Structure 1
């Protein structure tokens, strides 16, 4: 998804602020793989949203996907406790901005990007997440005067990501690069693009976050793209073609789940849907209409949908 304008990450380390917090872990996804992305309700998780965690747990979810934003850092200790109270694991997602672009030709911007990624990694660790996903490699549009992705830009992104992966390794954090469709991102649009960058970096904790919405637009076939990802597929966003109720759009779900099972996928299946009232995310992701009845009903139906297709 295009989160660059929607998430403004800060710089710094937060892990020490959580040293006395309850121990949480992302847990074994293969045992309880279904998660719900909180972007359907908010981009900034505050205590006002905590009652939702209980409702999602009651539906059957065992994990949630948490957007991490510098502006709500003060709520993170309470969020960790709220997750523990509901026995919910979490994964995290984030993005970078033009001022913190890992692929920038400006060394200062790349340093800021690395600091930003380190902050996101440290925050993920503090929340108990071992999976940080998103378009962590670059911004939505190329720099002025640059017609599109260049080998140099991808090489610079790889260099920055290698340093970020080294920072993440001691805490057991895996970085998952989410390729975006051409209307929301430019540097990586396909699984093939992303795998090439991952091979360049060469870090064992760097993999792919496969979003079915983006892949539906860009890939020639979803099953083939998933198969190509193989053991580098660390995380999956289960998202319909119109970003709403699963099964009511054009994604070939039989192909998706069949391919995931065929490669022995063990990561999370995280439901991702967007709503027009969550701004500026909805505008940056080009969501102009709600394609569901109610948010809680979408979450309920999505859990049943996953149970039907995954088991």
Structure 2
């Protein structure tokens, strides 16, 4: 199995025991996490046929986490948590900076906050750009910054392990990090974390970033190997699945061939939904869709068709 049983993300509702549970990013539904927004996102995800919802880190001081947990329970939905460290003008949380930097301390605390948020809503996974800031760097990664990122993540992983939570590293394209841009780089990085004692760190593939950095979707899956634990299914233009240039048959064939059993989460964003800050951060200059309910339902159907097709292909070649 490409995801060892000992490191599978723990689920206890719809996704429990499911092979390739399907998820959807909350950013498809809403820009915030008020009572009404949380209800809309969670109920909509369940109605569309997803097994889990990916919830970006929110400030627990301004959100009702008990409501979130109750909504998840009422809708039979599991959750995972995501975040991206950043270099916003107000606060820098980059941990790929030299030891002792203020940004490193802030970034480490933000990662610990995400672990606590996940614990409070019963989520067993915290993933995303957890190893550096998600920004365009004007220079290559430094050895000192890389070493500090490893040190920070080792400590965070230890805290997460005590809570039964796995940590994911989502490598991104060259315009959003200078540290990890490929599956091979990320697997090597995870190997170094494991050598430091962190056994609860997984490799997180996002097909949007794979499309711009890797030889192919399939090659990324094979390079990730047994470290692969979470997938973002995102079209090359971040719109509706199947309407762009991503090699979906190649991806799902590789997943079937390698025995990947972990989650596959639909990620799509539109300026019609996300905040202006998020729009600007990821360059959403075109509106590719307006109706999240229709897009979510179509995305779930697309992923299930791809899984079924890859299963049929596997059965005819083995």
In 1, Cα distance between equivalents of 2:83 and 2:60: 13
Q: Tell me if 1:55 matches 2:44.
A: yes
Q: Tell me if 1:309 matches 2:306.
A: yes
* TM-aligned CA distance change 1:142 to 1:273, over 3 Å: closer
In 2, Cα distance between equivalents of 1:51 and 1:142: 33
In 1, Cα distance between equivalents of 2:85 and 2:65: 20
Residue in 1 aligned with 2:213?
A: 218
Give the counterpart of 2:203 among 178, 200, 208.
208
Residue in 1 aligned with 2:34?
A: 46
* TM-aligned CA distance change 1:93 to 1:66, over 3 Å: same
Give the counterpart of 1:167 among 159, 166, 170.
159
Secondary structure of the residue aligned to 1:138 is strand
Shift of the alpha carbon at 1:150? 2.0
Residue in 2 aligned with 1:190?
A: 182
TM-score by length of 2: 0.85
Stretches of structure 2 that go unaligned for 5 or more consecutive residues are 1-10, 309-318
Conserved 8 A contact 2:15-2:21? no
* TM-aligned CA distance change 1:118 to 1:142, over 3 Å: same
Following superposition of structure 1 onto structure 2, how do residues 17-36 of structure 1 map, counting pairs within 5 Å?
27-28=15-16, 30-31=18-19, 33-36=21-24
Q: Tell me if 1:156 matches 2:148.
A: yes
In 2, Cα distance between equivalents of 1:179 and 1:270: 16
Shift of the alpha carbon at 1:186? 2.1
Q: RMSD in angstroms over aligned alpha carbons?
A: 2.0
Secondary structure of the residue aligned to 2:131 is coil
TM-score by length of 1: 0.86
Conserved 8 A contact 1:41-1:275? no
Deviating more after overlay: 166-175 vs 186-195:
186-195
In 1, Cα distance between equivalents of 2:279 and 2:61: 19
In 2, Cα distance between equivalents of 1:263 and 1:72: 42
Residue in 2 aligned with 1:14?
A: none
Stretches of structure 1 that go unaligned for 5 or more consecutive residues are 1-22
Conserved 8 A contact 1:46-1:72? no
In 1, Cα distance between equivalents of 2:172 and 2:264: 18
- Deviations 1:31-85 (Å, cap 9, x if unpaired)? 4611111111334322112134223212211211111122664322211111111
Conserved 8 A contact 2:97-2:146? no
Shift of the alpha carbon at 1:100? 2.2
Dislocated runs of 4+, deviation >4 Å: 23-27
Secondary structure of the residue aligned to 1:95 is strand
Shift of the alpha carbon at 1:183? 2.0
Residue in 2 aligned with 1:136?
A: 130
Residue in 2 aligned with 1:3?
A: none
Give the counterpart of 1:127 among 108, 121, 124.
121
In 1, Cα distance between equivalents of 2:285 and 2:61: 26
Paired residue total: 287
* TM-aligned CA distance change 1:189 to 1:296, over 3 Å: same
In 1, Cα distance between equivalents of 2:26 and 2:299: 14
